[in-house]
Amino acid sequence: MVVVDEENGEMHPLDLFLSVGLDKRTAENVLVNPKVTSNLTAVIKEACVVDGCGKTVGNLLYTVATKFPANALKHRPTLLEYIVSLKIKSPAQLDAAFAFLMNVGPETYQLKDFEEACGVGVEVSLEEVKAAINAVLEENMDALLEQRYRINVGNLCGQVRKKQPWADAKTVKEIIDARVAEILGERTADDDIKPLKKKKEKPVKVEDQPSHTSAPVTPPEEELNPFSIFPQPEENSKVHTEIFFSNGEIWRAHNKREMLEKHLKITGGKVITRFPPEPNGYLHIGHAKVLEIAVLNMNIMLYFCEIAFVSYLMILLQAMFINFGLAKERNGSCYLRFDDTNPEAEKKEYIDHIQEIVQWMGWQPFKVTYSSDYFQELYDLAVLLIQGGLAYVDHQTPEEIKEYREKKLNSPWRDRPISESLKLFDDMRRGLIEEGKATLRMKQDMQSENKNMYDLIAYRIKFTPHPHAGDKWCIYPSYDYTHCIVDSLENITHSLCTLEFEIRRPSYYWLLMALDIYQPYVWEYSRLNISNTVMSKRKLNRLVTEKWVDGWDDPRLMTLAGLRRRGVSSTSINSFIRGIGITRSDNSMIRYDRLEYHIREELNKSAPRAMVVLNPLKIVITNLDSESRMSLDAKMWPDAPSEDASSFYKVPFTNVVYIERTDFRLKDSKDYYGFAPGKTVLLRYACPIKCTEVIYGNDSESIVEIRAEYDPLKKTKPKGVLHWVAQPYPGVEPLKVEVRIFDKLFLSENPAELENWLSDLNPTSKEVISEAYAVPSLVNAVEGDRFQFERLGYFAVDPDSTTEKLVFNRTVTLRDSYSKGGNK
């Protein structure tokens, strides 16, 4: 039974696909993929076979729907004519057609060249097929006799195709099978025995390997090139997208050859990108309100409490890396463009802050521009749009526009005379129409399946002076109108944005095609999702406003303010983003460990070493004079050269030292390298000590002190090595510091999927140790300084630090689960 959609009278897609000869399984698989469903439906309609066709034609149409080269879509109707008329009737001919059209792209070509390339009209006789097969079998006779029926027949067919590309594949296979049986005779039982796989030889031990050979080394993530997926500017002649209209018309967006050549002449063939944040919103001190700021087309909700500051999320740092990084990798240029089309929200404070962040992240803009720089050009192009019948002045209220869009109805003013719209638009510009009483809308397609084609607003009236353009204008362009045009005016080669804006691609190219101006290459990438945290603006708002975390700069959040406070550098952020690459897969969850790996790699090279004891246990060295004080050299770097004094710092050594309480236990074992009664350990940079006595408190259980003897001659060579801090002078307590230990904010990898996601908060994500002991050299540390506390992790000085007490945040542990096979 054929199902017909009563609303539009069209056949159900499954029945449509079955009618062209596809088997049911293939047809059902097509329906799973919306893009293939749309393509195949369009191909069937374009080929005029909605009433059905033979299986041969249907299978070729399916191949066209799935493999047709995107840069040659304007030539698809011609190819379909050849298929339906059976001038192209084999997969080999179709593959040849694809190769020819891919090379031609959107340019014109001679039909005779196309037919010659595709073998149209060429008939291969049976004698020619047999001759080609005999030649191939003769060339492969030794292998055939050795391998017998285990020989790769597909490879033989491929060799025949090279000699006779237009021969029928089924006929070739049948004749090869018959000739092989004729040469080898009857198939035996031995022919069905699978050959034994050769055992892999054991790898040669490292010491036995010749010195001149080495195994291939996989380069580190940060050395891989994530930008290799992007085409060169001179390749920007392919069809970017197909714009389907409700009346059946199709626009295929691509640059004409002369337009592309003009663009390349202006740019010198260089890559040009842009990072376009919107500098809007700034609240007064003492307020806590919500504002939305669109940065790289993304609404990021920000809170400003007590003081105002911007908290960039990791996804925006990703956008910054992709745009600036691509330009840098290709020796091109990247604009920092402020999308300042809303005069009521733009503030210089934001502009200054964004520029500071871009610089902190290590990027240098080619030029700082503003959308408002192009207000005159944008206005002039809007006039051209009206003159071409592709824009009109509308008087609907926002509520009416919403209602008409939901019902897919045209505005009552959509078909007003062009001259009338031109006069009204001029009245808008001159301030003769009240704010809210008129807008300029693009005449796109109100009946489209894509809501972003519902006659988007191009201009609205706002009697507000512009911070950058002054009081010249009282009409301002919308983002949807401005963004793509300024991309074109600035000769942007690659316009990059996140996947949620893929639905806007038709409206982006509609406007550029309507104005007949250069079209940048648009590419959408997946947003960065990191495990054990939330990236949603609403969830982040709740965490901050309900005080589950300590503000937007809480080191546990994936905000720039939080990451900076935690001690994460721009180098490690860029390295992390580079390592994960650029993909269109929208379901990827990047493990938090992977970010930590890149932070750890950078800090391992840049952070000097120091010793801090978090939970001190007192040790009194009984064979060292209580008034004695030694000054020892400790390495700031693992490979510090002994002759370089600047690579060492001084640590005092007295008869009272402190070790971690967790480094001592009463019962020793073979696999334990810590301190225990009667056991000897090495104090790093000092000497071995041996536990001689344990002193208990009044409860006879808690340990308050350890007595030990030291070996000044270092005769013993213990396996265990402990970090420690000593009294700087006899009777003087070590430097006290506060240490904050941060862990993953959520227990689950993807808390956003949980209904009660707040219940998944990690109760131990923050631990404050108020009185840790530190070596004296840390007393001069200032905010932002970063260190490796030996055996504990990497730490950074927090802004809460005072002259009386330093505060350190743990940036990352020393443990690395990502590079040890936990990567994902």
Q: Would you please indicate which residues are annotated as catalytic (active-site) residues?
A: 278, 527, 537
Do 785 and 797 form a contact (C-beta atoms < 8 A)?
A: yes
The C-alpha angle 658, 660, 666, rounded to 5 degrees, equals 100
Name the DSSP letter for residue 48.
T
Dist. CA 204–CA 206, nearest whole Å: 6
> Which H helix or E strand runs over 612?
strand 612-613
Dist. CA 458–CA 482, nearest whole Å: 8
Dist. CA 36–CA 807, nearest whole Å: 58
Whole-number Cα distances in Å, 805 to 736, 741, 781, 787: 7, 17, 11, 17
> Which H helix or E strand runs over 509?
helix 505-515
- Give the burial class of 20: count Cβ atoms within 10 A of its Cβ; 0-12 exposed, 13-18 middle, 19 or more buried: buried
Measured in residues, the chain has a length of 824
Residue 317 phi, psi (nearest 5):
-65, -35
Q: Which of 579, 578, 576 is closest to 599 using CA atoms?
A: 576
Beta strands in 329-408 (DSSP E): 333-338, 367-370, 391-394
Alpha helices in 237-296 (DSSP H): 257-267
Q: Which of 614, 779, 613, 786 is closest to 683 using CA atoms?
A: 613
Q: Which of 399, 481, 489, 493 is closest to 440 using CA atoms?
A: 481
Alpha helices in 581-631 (DSSP H): 592-606
Dist. CA 43–CA 64, nearest whole Å: 8
Q: Report residue 225 CA to chain centroid gap.
A: 13
Can you read off the two tokens belonging to residue 516?
């007949």
Name the DSSP letter for residue 821.
I
Name 671's bridge partners.
Answer: none
Do 106 and 71 form a contact (C-beta atoms < 8 A)?
A: yes
Q: Which of 656, 704, 703, 702 is closest to 683 using CA atoms?
A: 656
- 3-class secondary structure per residue, 638-651: CCCCCCCHHHEEEE
Dist. CA 240–CA 438, nearest whole Å: 33
Name 627's bridge partners.
Answer: none
Q: Which of 805, 611, 610, 609 is closest to 725 using CA atoms?
A: 611
Beta strands in 245-332 (DSSP E): 250-253, 272-275, 290-295, 298-303
- 3-class secondary structure per residue, 528-583: CCECCCCCCHHHHHHHHHCCCCCCCCCCCCCEHHHHHHHCCCHHHHHHHHHHHCCC
> Do the bridges between strand 680-683 and strand 656-660 make them parallel or antiparallel, or are there none, so unpaired?
unpaired
- Which amino acid does the sequence have at 409? L
End-to-end CA distance of the chain: 48
Dist. CA 28–CA 14, nearest whole Å: 7
Q: Which of 755, 817, 782, 820 is closest to 539 using CA atoms?
A: 755
Coarse DSSP helix, strand, coil percentages of the chain, rounded to the nearest 5 percent: 40, 20, 40
